[in-house]
């Protein structure tokens, strides 16, 4: 009975596979949003201000960072929790595949969130005249919270790895 229970529980990891596949659909959605933004910007490229162009570029960079984060979580999560990816040696294989454990993935996700938050905060500052001071303060507080959280996660990871 115990063996059957353990086998069923271990097999349940495959329930995560459709979730990781679903992340690839969000990647598709981000790609559509990226090119939609580009499509709307290019025709008016000569008439928009430098500030507006920078805000658009920051939005595109933001989308690309989120896309990279999705790829990292999708592949690393699948390899760490479901199954190894069986890729032929001749295929174009990402060099970090199989090298990110859950702690490394967690730190990379935290660093990506800080980078995304930084870009968002820069967009807020570039639009500062249109944003209420109280709202801007909350953006800064939230960003500092992300930075401190990522820093503390890195410190804790270093401390726990030092013990082993």
The percentage of the chain sitting over the pLDDT mark of 90, rounded to a whole number, equals 35
Q: How many domains does the chain have?
A: 2
Taking residue 150's Cβ as centre, other Cβ atoms within 10 Å add up to 21
Same domain, 15 and 94: yes
Nearest to 78 by CA among 13, 12, 8: 13
Could you tell me the pTM of the whole model? 0.76
Mean pLDDT of the chain: 86
Same domain, 71 and 141: no
User: Which tens digit of pLDDT belongs to each residue from 15-58?
Assistant: 999 999 999 999 999 999 999 999 999 999 999 988 889 888 98
Which pLDDT score is estimated for 84?
81
User: Which tens digit of pLDDT belongs to each residue from 107-162?
Assistant: 888 888 898 888 888 888 887 888 888 888 999 999 999 999 999 988 888 888 76
pLDDT at 77 exceeding the cut of 90:
no
Same domain, 108 and 95: no
How far apart CA 143 and CA 106 sit, in angstroms, is 18
Nearest to 60 by CA among 34, 28, 31, 40: 34
At residue 163 the predicted structure's pLDDT band, cuts being 50, 70 and 90, is low
Domain range for 131: 101-164
Same domain, 30 and 61: yes
Q: Between residues 93 and 61, which one has the greater pLDDT?
A: 61
How far apart CA 83 and CA 102 sit, in angstroms, is 14
| Residue finishing a domain among 75, 100, 125 | 100
Same domain, 136 and 160: yes
| Residue finishing a domain among 62, 85, 100 | 100
Same domain, 72 and 88: yes
| Residue finishing a domain among 48, 69, 100 | 100
């Amino acid at each position: 009975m115990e063996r059957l229970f353990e086998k069923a529980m271990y097999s349940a990891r495959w329930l995560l596979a459709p979730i990781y596949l679903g992340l690839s659909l969000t990647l598709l959605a981000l790609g559509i949003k990226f090119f939609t933004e580009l499509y709307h910007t290019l025709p008016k490229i000569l008439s928009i201000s430098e500030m507006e162009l920078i805000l658009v570029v920051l939005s595109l960079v933001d989308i690309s960072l989120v896309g990279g984060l999705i790829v990292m979580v999708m592949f690393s999560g699948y390899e760490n929790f479901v199954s190894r990816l069986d890729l032929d040696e001749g295929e174009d294989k990402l060099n970090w595949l199989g090298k990110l454990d859950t702690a490394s993935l967690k730190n990379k996700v935290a660093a990506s969130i800080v980078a995304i938050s930084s870009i968002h905060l820069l967009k807020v500052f570039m639009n500062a005249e249109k944003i209420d001071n109280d709202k801007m303060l909350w953006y800064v507080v939230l960003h500092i919270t992300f930075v401190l959280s990522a820093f503390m996660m890195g410190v804790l990871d270093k401390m726990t790895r030092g013990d082993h």
